[in-house]
Amino acid sequence: MVATASVAKLFIADELLLQESQGKATLSADERHTLDAMLQSSDDDAAEKFWNQAGGETIIRDVAARYGLAATQPPSDGRWWDTTTSTRT
């Protein structure tokens, strides 16, 4: 198992955009700008904000289940960057 580090930001973005498409959340123009910064500039503060806003460890469980990533696990310490995964099943 390896830590995903900033790859977890893709999981956070995926969950936020899904929540918005389902009407469970609304992203303001400022939040969309922050989301862009998280992805384009690897903004850790933005990731932390959205991690807490969108469900924390639940994000990893939900996204991993959605895409069949059985070897991907939420962080044991609650820190998004310590999410782990493997290319093996």
pTM for the predicted model, two decimal places:
0.93
Phi first, then psi: what are they for 5, rounded to 5°? 50, -125
Helix (H) or strand (E) holding 2: strand 2-3
Sequence-ordered list of residues with C-beta below 8 angstroms from that of 5, at least 6 positions apart, any chain: 81
Domain boundaries, the chain: 2-76
pLDDT digits (tens, 9 = 90+) for 43-86: 999 999 999 999 999 999 999 999 999 999 999 999 999 999 99
pLDDT digits (tens, 9 = 90+) for 9-50: 999 999 999 999 999 999 999 999 999 999 999 999 999 999
